[in-house]
Amino acid sequence: MKNNEVVIETRNLYYAYEDEKYVLKNINLRINKGEIIAILGENGAGKTTLVKHFNGLLKPTKGEVFVLGKNVKDMSVAELSKHVGIVFQNPDHQLFSETVEKEIEFAMVNFGFEKHYIEERIEWALKLMGLEKYRNRSPYTLSIGERKRLTLATVLSYDPDILILDEPTAGQDFLQKEKIAELMNLLKHRKKTIIIVTHDIEFIVNRVERVILLVGGKIIYDGDKRGALTNYKLMKEARLLPPQVSQISWILYNLGVKLPKDILYTEELLRELLRIYKS
Amino acid sequence: MSFLEGFKFRRKDTRIHKLDPRTKFIIVVVYTVLSLIFFNVIPLFILFLSTIFLIYMAESMNEWKKTIRGMFFFLTIIFILNFISISQNKIDYSLAMVLRFLTLTSIFSFFFLTTTPDELALAIEASGISRDYSLMFTMSLRFVPTLAKDLQTIMDALRSRGLELEKGGFIQRIRNYTYVLVPLIVYEIRRSLMIAEALEARGYGATDKISTYFELRMKRIDYIITVIAIIITILVILLKIYGMLPSWLFIKISNI
Ligand SMILES: Nc1ncnc2c1ncn2[C@@H]1O[C@H](COP(=O)(O)OP(=O)(O)O)[C@@H](O)[C@H]1O
Ligand SMILES: [Mg+2]
């Protein structure tokens, strides 16, 4: 299967800001093309620091990082960003243009795309993120949800193969979260590799396959999401709240209801309860 | 942004930290005056060495070193600018100016490393300046590191969209920095409005007479240091005016 093409790989990656202590410790990762991954961990676990290595914003203190088979050591951020798009958390740190259109255009101009192609892509991105009617507005006049979508549009517009979303759901309401979920679906169909950095467990339950748990700069779990999210000990170690459905199942289990301990979805819980009820 | 390290307060238990902030402020003034009246390498070098000694007493060498290292670029510029704009005594004069800058940086670093923001606010208020201004001053100090972090975040986001800050000619580079400045200014204005609201919500400005946790008290050692510092300064100034300072202070090092 061609799906096993590795797009990002880290080997014994360590990182320290200035000469302080390591905030990433011995990170070994292989991310395949088309995978949808969540990097989970509490605030300060090192998630953002880790993904900044994937487009060269940070270079390893020790160890190596490969993107699309090339060592990032001698590659510029601009070069890498063409393939690896990162959307950062806070829109207010990123918007500066006079109009929404110009904001979207910025990256493509930097990458030297052709004019008619740029125009095409702006239309596509505006439509995708539902921002057409704001095209001539100043980004600062948009609502927080719209600004978030605009930051997504600025990166999606140039169509990177790998997309990294840093805390995309932080401070967003239900509707915005739905839109971000829709977007992830679309990207999945377009065979993009998606890495989502978050501690919003409920959001990722239905949307990713693989989960990486980061605690104090170390990976304590990397694999199938069920193995992490339904493991009480691991989740506690990572200081994350397990999915509510799993929590309810554990409570019922402790009350004597004979349920499996790795329930992740509402349907699973209902099916089990029905089974018990019937018997 | 590590050059800011030397201007951030660190809680430590040394004799210097225990001094009254006003005493330390007098020391800063004395050093400023002394370093401004001299234009020669040797006296400025002595001043600089003594600031290092003060920082050593305050056990803050590591933070200070980071600041000095971060200033290296500035120091080079100061040296070069003085060197090309002066017609005689080039080396001596440029070196003296570098030493003056180092002395001033170090003595301010000494002050901010060892004085808590609270003490600072009290000291400013004690000198008769209104609370509004003292708060403004201490808050802006408090937010310098935050500002540095915001700046880093903004630059990271821009670089991720393909902006190469260091590329292009002079005009292009200036334009690149405006991309950075717009979000920075907007963000900081928003932040300060939020802080202002939070302050008012917690009763700031409700009364003129506010209660304080602790009061500043000059101890014996504070009076002694203050008096000695002022006497030395006046003495040096008088000796300098009447040309009675020892001549070795004015030897040109380029002649040695
Ligand atoms: N620019 C920086 N300078 C120094 N330390 C930093 C910097 N950015 C982050 N850190 C530290 O690195 C650790 C990991 O931070 P981060 O990667 O932002 O965590 P997360 O994204 O998981 O919340 C934290 O302890 C944080 O304080
Ligand atoms: Mg983060």
pLDDT tens by residue, B59-97: 999 999 989 988 888 888 889 888 888 888 888 999 999
User: Which residues of A lie closer than 8 Å to B, measured between beta carbons?
Assistant: 18, 52, 55, 57, 76-78, 81-82, 85-86, 88, 90, 92-96, 106-107, 110-111, 140, 154-155
Q: pTM of the prediction? A: 0.78
CA neighbor of A91 nearest in space, from A38, A159, A165 = A165
| pLDDT for the residue numbered A104 | 96
Q: What pLDDT was estimated at residue A83?
A: 96
Least confident of A87-96, B18-27, B79-88, B213-222: B213-222
For β-strands A70-71 and A218-224, DSSP reports them as: unpaired
**Statement: residue A159 has pLDDT above 80:** yes
Smallest CA-to-CA distance from B25 within B232, B236, B230, B231 is with B230
pLDDT at B128 > cutoff 60: yes
Quick check: A34 pLDDT over 50? yes
| Mean pLDDT value across chain A | 93
Predicted pLDDT of residue B232: 93
pLDDT tier for residue B1 given thresholds of 50, 70 and 90:
low
Whole-angstrom Cα distance, residue B220 to residue B225?
Answer: 9
Residue keyed to tokens 């596509």: A124
pLDDT for the residue numbered B213: 66
C-beta separation of B38 from B99 below 8 A:
no
The ipTM estimated for the assembled molecules is 0.85
Q: Any chain A CB within 8 A of the CB of B153? A: yes
Residue of B nearest to A155 (CA): B161
Instruction: Tell me if B156 and A154 make a contact (CB, 8 A cut-off).
Output: no
Q: What is the pLDDT of residue B132?
A: 81
Average pLDDT for B222-251: 91
Mean pLDDT of A222-247: 94
- What average pLDDT score do residues A192-219 get? 95
A89 lines ligand 1 (CB under 6 A): no
What is chain B's mean pLDDT, rounded? Answer: 87
- Check residues B90 and B52 and name the one with the higher pLDDT: B52
What average pLDDT does the segment A128-143 reach? 93
The more confidently predicted of residues A217 and B204 is A217
For residue B223, the one-letter residue type is: Y
Cα–Cα dist B58/B55, whole Å? 5
Nearest alpha carbon to residue A107 among B164, B198, B172: B164
What band does A138 get if pLDDT is binned at 50, 70 and 90?
very high
Angle between helix A100-110 and A144-156 (nearest 10): 30
Q: In a mutational test of the pocket of ligand 1, which residue from A17, A24, A87, A89 has the highest number of ligand atoms less than 8 Å from its CB? A: A17
In whole angstroms, give the CA distance from residue B148 to residue A96.
18
**Residue B202 has what pLDDT?**
83
Position B214 scores a pLDDT of 66
- Cα B39 to Cα B86: distance, rounded to the nearest angstrom: 13
- pLDDT reading at A2 higher than 80: no
- How large a percentage of chain B has pLDDT more than 70? 96
pLDDT for A1 equals 45
Q: Are strands A6-16 and A193-198 parallel, antiparallel or unpaired?
A: unpaired
Question: If you take atom 8 of ligand 1, which residue's CA is the nearest one?
Answer: A49
Tokens representing A175? 């509707």
CA distance B107 to B5: 14
Averaged pLDDT for residues A107-114: 94
pLDDT of residue A3 exceeding 60, the answer is no
For the segment A119-126, the average pLDDT, to the nearest whole number, is 96
**Percent of chain A whose predicted confidence (pLDDT) is above 70:** 99
Given an 8 Å threshold on Cβ–Cβ distance, is B153 in contact with A155?
Answer: no
Q: What percent of chain A has pLDDT over 90?
A: 86
B118-138 average pLDDT score: 79
Which of A134-143, B165-174, B178-187 has the highest mean predicted lDDT (pLDDT)? Answer: A134-143
DSSP structure class, residue B239: H
State whether the beta carbon of A117 lies less than 6 angstroms from ligand 1: no
Q: How far is B19 from chain A (nearest CA, A)?
A: 30
CB B176 within 8 A of CB B165: yes
